[in-house]
Structure 1
Amino acid sequence: MNVLKSFALFLGMSLTATVQAEPVTYNIDTKGMHASINFKIQHLGYSWLTGRFDDFDGTYTYDKDKLSNSHVKVEIDTASVNSNHAERDKHLRGEEFLNVSEHPKAVFESTSISGNDQAMKVTGDLTLNGVTRSVVIDAKKVGEGKDPWGGYRSGFEGTTTLKLADYDITKDLGPASTHVQLMLHLEGVRQ
């Protein structure tokens, strides 16, 4: 092999080794109902009241080689709260809780993502009821791969706990009901 061919081969291998994968952007699959935002809060300390938000949308960018390049943004239609009880949901939409007439959207946008696929810390700003606070979501990747329709998907789950008073939700529900737990299940389709 001559020197010129050897140099070209070396240069090609070097360039290949230094090229890093770009972060990949995914649309959250809310239309196919492969994503959910659920919540639970204690009722009088005796049981759990559970519910979900039916309408939300968002995207995330995922860099499996460098999580710090990843990003997520989700917008929730707060009027879509669903606790499986129409009268309670009407109350939750009112001024004492989500105040949807004044604040129809809740928005989470990450500011940093650290850790690894099985133990992520997703830090970001959550705006709810007109108040923005930093929250940390403990998350992990569920899986990724090709789907039956020719696309490529990835999925994540996460949890966080919010203090209601931090978001100006001060209705006294009793000492066992000052915090709400959020459970997030996001599946995205690669763009």
Structure 2
Amino acid sequence: MNNTEKKILSVSRNLFAEKDASQVTVREIAEKSGISHTTIYLYFKSKEEIIRAIALEPLENLFEELLEITKSNQEPAEKLFSLCNHYIAFGFEQKNIYKLVSLYEGERVDLPSYSALLSKNRMKSLELLREAIIEWLPADLAEEKKINIVRGVFFFLHGIIMTYENEEQQDLKRIQTIVRDYLDYTILSNHHEEKNY
């Protein structure tokens, strides 16, 4: 990646942090980058390609980090807490572009496959979370209910990030306690004795 390409991505990231992606134009990116808009097209075919380039790296990093957690020797419940807490920490780290990273090119989670590159990458991480949750659900629970519970946990995590994103300093200990209490009461409590949690 050369300096011009880095500059385009850096300026774009700042613009997307300030306003919704739909409000940012290639001309505006070019103007703020100090280059012509035709120069941008030498590096990126469209604004969508710029967005994908910005969002892809954090999503790939998130997947690798969550994968490490799933491979760890933690107990299943602690693994689930770690996955959720790590996702929240990721949201806060990426707070300036979190909406872009988490929602752009979004597709429903119950599709058999995904066409959008960012969706495919998001779903790899969601699949790790899904596996950690499914372990705690009754085997005979209807598939649709399992999907809805996974969705519910994701909406819960997403909601925490969106609620606290504008705070200068997030109280991570307090947030982790909220996550633990919520998961313990909603998903894990029926399995305490069974799973020796």
* TM-score (normalised: structure 2): 0.24
If each structure's helix is expressed as a fraction of its own residues, which one has the higher value? 2
